A and B are shown apart, each in its own frame.
Chain A
Amino acid sequence: DDKLLSEPLSHPDFFNVKELFSLKDLFDARVHLGHKKGCRHRFMEPYIFGCRLDQDIIDLDQTMQHLQLALNFTAHIAYRKGIILFISRKRQFCHLVETMAQECGEYAHTRYWQGGLLTNAHIQLGSGVRLPDLLIFLSSLNNVFEPHVAIRDAAKMNIPTVGVVDTNCNPCLITYPIPGNDDSPTAMELYCKLFRMAIIRAKDKRRRSEVFDDLQ
């Protein structure tokens, strides 16, 4: 059992997430498109490649690295049977995110966030709840263009976060930020596909390792 959990940690890319995407895929899904220069957040400047006709372009090389780290981390969490919660407050993609979470066997929250959900969970959700072990933000702003409350709450409750940060977002409190576009449908579908494949791969591997151990 110990070997089962410690073995993946020795490899840098145990689940081989690098092969799930390529730079061309990101470019075709328009992940590099940011918002206008006026919307730029100060802390996103390191991730921005440049500005063309007032529109910010995100550096896809950095995005590749961050995405690889984030997918690897998600896969490890899924391998260790952690609870993953997908959050997105974009009304366009609410249905997409919920269906994706259902297919993975994980959880989603694309609705109005009630204040004490994480911090007051024992009263609001029932005593003895198990909180999520990872929050994945597919858009880290809420409908009023402010940082989502869950980022701050997860930091308070020591829950690691993975988040897609656009040029107008604050990447500070997110443990694994992924600089990228969160407004295009193609980009969102790409992220959903990647996360789903990573989680399913990790779960399959875990099941196979358990069966292998049981046989021995």
Chain B
Amino acid sequence: RLIYTPTAVQRKNVGASGPEKYTEAFIKKQIEEFNLGKRHLANMMGEDPETFTQEDIDRAIAYLFPSGLFDKQARPMMKHPTEIFPEQRKIQWGEDGRPFHFLFYTGKQSYYSLMHETYEKVLNVQKYQDQLTAQDLTSQKEKRNLAGSRWLTKIELEEMLLEKLSDNDYLRFIQLLQKLVTLPCGDIEEKYIQKFSKEIPAQLQKVVIEPLKYDERGVAFSTGEGTRKTARATAVVYDNGTGKITVNGIDMLHYFPVLQDREQLLFPFQFLDRVGKHDMVCTVSGGGRSAQAGAIRLASAKALRSFVTEKEAEFMRQAGLLTVDPRTKERKKPGQEGARRKFTWKKR
């Protein structure tokens, strides 16, 4: 069969053929060369070729070929060929030119074969359903937990099939899977469906309130940590106290001369009406005067949660005592004097 192609077209268009395809024989040869090279390297370094691991190889290469390049991927490396050559579709046809897959001429063979299989499962389920109705048997309907699982995303499906998909293709496939699931006797194909569904881990993480700890004297205490801007604080709140508060070994009155900071420290206790009932020992570092006060406030509120009922803890949360204040110093921008302040505007 003669196909006339003008000589201009016969020149190889290098870019148009896409990424280079590696044959199986090529990859096998690369693996043999890698193993041989590994043994040579081990002998060179004076180590045992049998127990020469990948880390030893990396160290040896870094020693023999020192490189100051910043990009780690640009430095000399010796890895197993399966890591270097991306997993690709090898040449799809045999010696005589006949393709291996019966849907090769569609262009998207894995995707269409997947659709073909899924549709076959749907037909099977419908046939089974018909058989049951012919014998007048009702199927046991076990509700599949729809909320606990999700379908594979488009990217995950592309990775599975090693083929690019379009959005429409992906949608069609998901619609077919959903049809399979909603059929009454869909449970037969449970194993097939599980290949394409993933469990969603429980999203609501209930905040665990730690139980009270007891020290040598039998006094209950609990710890809490808090942050505000750059200040980090840890607070230990003791029960049966007189309302004494020690910060970094110094009494509160001396450490925080300003009234506002002391108010911040006492706010959690005031809110819970436990002003004179607890002792507190805290350590704080970083930040400024106000930030340290805020950090200790958060830490003490967190510690008090163990002493208090769930309802009161919920009130604390709603009052904003348990929320980390996310405000930090805004960065200075170029072309401006500060974060927001612009340079003085001169008319001329």
What residue in chain A is nearest B96 (Cβ atoms)? A81
| In the complex with contacts A109-B106, A117-B105, A130-B93, A83-B116 CB distance below 8 A | no
Distance A124 CA – B106 CA, assembled complex (angstroms): 10
Distance A85 CA – B108 CA, assembled complex (angstroms): 15
A111 close to chain B: CB less than 8 A: yes
Q: Are A126 and B102 in contact (CB under 8 A)?
A: no
B17 close to chain A: CB less than 8 A: yes
Distance A129 CA – B99 CA, assembled complex (angstroms): 8
B92 close to chain A: CB less than 8 A: yes
What residue in chain B is nearest A98 (Cβ atoms)? B116
A123 close to chain B: CB less than 8 A: yes
Q: Are A101 and B3 in contact (CB under 8 A)?
A: no
What residue in chain B is nearest A129 (Cβ atoms)? B93
A21 close to chain B: CB less than 8 A: no
Q: Are A98 and B103 in contact (CB under 8 A)?
A: yes
- Chain A residues lying within 8 Å of B93, measured Cβ to Cβ, are 129-130
Query: Chain B 94-121, CB within 8 Å of chain A: the 1/0 string?
Result: 0011110011111110001000100110
Interface residues of A in 99-120 (CB under 8 A from B): 101-102, 105-109, 111, 114, 117
| In the complex with contacts A83-B98, A123-B17, A107-B103 CB distance below 8 A | yes
What residue in chain B is nearest A106 (Cβ atoms)? B102
- Chain B residues lying within 8 Å of A211, measured Cβ to Cβ, are none
- Chain B residues lying within 8 Å of A123, measured Cβ to Cβ, are 16-17
B72 close to chain A: CB less than 8 A: no
Chain A: residues with Cβ within 8 Å of the partner, total of: 27
What residue in chain A is nearest B89 (Cβ atoms)? A126
A147 close to chain B: CB less than 8 A: no
- Chain A residues lying within 8 Å of B116, measured Cβ to Cβ, are 95, 98
A22 close to chain B: CB less than 8 A: no
A53 close to chain B: CB less than 8 A: no
Q: Are B3 and A157 in contact (CB under 8 A)?
A: yes
Q: Are A95 and B103 in contact (CB under 8 A)?
A: no
Distance A107 CA – B98 CA, assembled complex (angstroms): 10
A10 close to chain B: CB less than 8 A: no
Interface residues of A in 35-94 (CB under 8 A from B): 81, 83, 85, 94
B342 close to chain A: CB less than 8 A: no
Distance A123 CA – B92 CA, assembled complex (angstroms): 14
Q: Are A125 and B91 in contact (CB under 8 A)?
A: no
Q: Are B91 and A111 in contact (CB under 8 A)?
A: no
A6 close to chain B: CB less than 8 A: no
Chain B: residues with Cβ within 8 Å of the partner, total of: 25
- Chain B residues lying within 8 Å of A124, measured Cβ to Cβ, are 107
- Chain A residues lying within 8 Å of B21, measured Cβ to Cβ, are 126
Distance A157 CA – B116 CA, assembled complex (angstroms): 29
Output the least CB separation between A89 and chain B (Å).
12
| In the complex with contacts A83-B98, A126-B91, A130-B97, A95-B105 CB distance below 8 A | no
Supplied contacts A107-B104, A107-B105, 9 more A-B pairs, CB within 8 Å: A95-B116, A105-B102, A107-B103, A109-B106, A117-B105, A126-B17, A130-B98, A132-B105, A158-B1
Q: Which 9 A-B pairs have the closest CB atoms?
A: A130-B97, A102-B102, A109-B106, A158-B1, A109-B105, A111-B106, A107-B105, A107-B102, A114-B107
Q: Which residues of A come within 8 Å of B, CB atoms?
A: 81, 83, 85, 94-95, 98, 101-102, 105-109, 111, 114, 117, 123-127, 129-130, 132, 157-159
Q: Which residues of B come within 8 Å of A, CB atoms?
A: 1-3, 16-17, 21, 91-93, 96-99, 102-108, 112, 116, 119-120, 123
Interchain residue pairs with CB less than 8 A apart (29): A81-B96, A81-B98, A83-B98, A83-B99, A85-B105, A95-B120, A95-B123, A98-B102, A98-B116, A101-B102, A106-B102, A107-B102, A107-B103, A107-B104, A107-B105, A108-B102, A111-B106, A117-B105, A123-B16, A123-B17, A125-B105, A126-B21, A126-B91, A127-B17, A129-B93, A129-B97, A129-B99, A158-B2, A158-B3
